Structure formats: structure tokens, C-alpha cells
């Protein structure tokens, strides 16, 4: 296939849509030291400008208290690619470790859900990966909306 044919096969994406708003970020990771899979949940504010999206967790809005998350993303039609960073809590299990890596997500046709994978390093100098998704909660970034979501997410919303 020629590159022109590949472009025709791509799902129509919401390029140009504004994905700004408050989103629920959910990722999963395996902890080899604890022998179990865990989830990280954050309420994040997305700011979409041009083909760039930045996401920052809201204050107090992590399932792991005091572990802020940031995403730096680029949008190409329905594909989102970029990096993530999480500074774990000083008093938490990972004692203030800073983790970072790459992320790639696909935006569903409604523009209300993104799903994909993350990759990053582990405590034992290994490379880990797992699922990551973002779900739109509110398109508004008004102060009262940001205050409402500046709390720890308790569970994933049902579809």
C-alpha cells in the first residue's frame, strides 16, 4: 500500500476538536515487589492548543495522595503520543520516586475517551508497560469545576 492508501484507512479522528476539560486518568501497573497489579487514578485538567495537549493532575486529585501526574502529548488525528511523569508521595510505598515514560493513546470517535498503553522503567531497572485510559468528565475548566474535581477519585465510572 502507498502512504496515500494508509491515510485513507485511518479512522476519522477529531483533529481540531478541543479536548480541554477535566478527565479521569486511569493506568495499571504490576508491582514486582508486592506481587500484584495496582491502578493509579487522577483527575487531570487537559489543555489543548493546536496539536498539543498538556495534562496536569488537580490538587488532591490522586488515588495515591500527593503523587502529581503530568502528561505532555501531541495529537495526530485520532492518535495521541507523548510522555508522562509521576512524582510519587514522599510518605508512600515508592518514597518519593519520580517515574516517567512514554504513552500512546487512540481517541474514540466521540472524543470522550482515549485508551492505549504506557511504557516506563521499574524499580529493578526493567522496562514495564500497561494499559492507560482517559475519560472525559467535564468540558469546562471553570474554577468551580476544577474545585469539584480536586478530590481523590474513588472508582472508575461505569459506562
In this predicted structure, the answer to whether residue 3 has a pLDDT above a threshold of 80 is: no
In this predicted structure, the answer to whether residue 157 has a pLDDT above a threshold of 60 is: no
Q: For each of the domains in the chain, give its residue range(s) and CATH number, in order of start.
A: 14-148 (2.40.128)
CB 130 within 8 A of CB 27: yes
Residue 62 half-sphere exposure, CB side, CA atoms within 13 Å? 17
Give pLDDT tens digits for 118-140: 999 887 788 999 999 999 999 99
pTM of the model: 0.84
In this predicted structure, the answer to whether residue 96 has a pLDDT above a threshold of 80 is: no
For the beta carbon of residue 26, count every other beta carbon within 10 angstroms.
20
Amino acid at each position: 500500500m502507498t502512504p496515500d492508501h494508509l491515510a485513507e484507512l485511518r479512522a476519522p479522528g477529531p483533529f481540531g476538536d478541543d479536548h480541554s476539560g477535566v478527565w479521569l486518568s486511569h493506568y495499571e501497573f504490576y508491582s514486582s515487589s508486592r506481587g500484584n497489579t495496582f491502578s493509579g487514578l487522577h483527575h487531570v485538567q487537559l489543555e489543548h492548543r493546536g496539536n498539543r495537549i498538556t495534562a496536569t493532575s488537580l490538587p488532591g486529585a490522586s488515588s495515591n495522595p500527593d503523587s502529581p501526574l503530568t502528561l505532555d502529548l501531541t495529537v495526530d488525528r485520532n492518535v495521541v503520543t507523548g510522555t508522562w511523569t509521576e512524582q510519587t508521595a514522599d510518605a508512600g510505598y515508592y518514597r518519593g520516586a519520580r517515574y516517567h515514560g512514554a504513552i500512546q493513546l487512540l481517541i474514540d470517535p466521540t472524543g470522550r475517551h482515549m485508551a492505549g498503553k504506557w511504557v516506563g522503567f521499574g524499580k529493578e531497572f526493567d522496562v514495564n508497560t500497561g494499559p492507560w485510559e482517559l475519560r472525559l468528565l467535564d468540558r469546562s475548566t471553570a474554577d468551580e469545576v476544577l474545585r469539584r474535581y480536586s478530590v481523590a477519585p474513588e472508582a472508575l465510572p461505569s459506562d
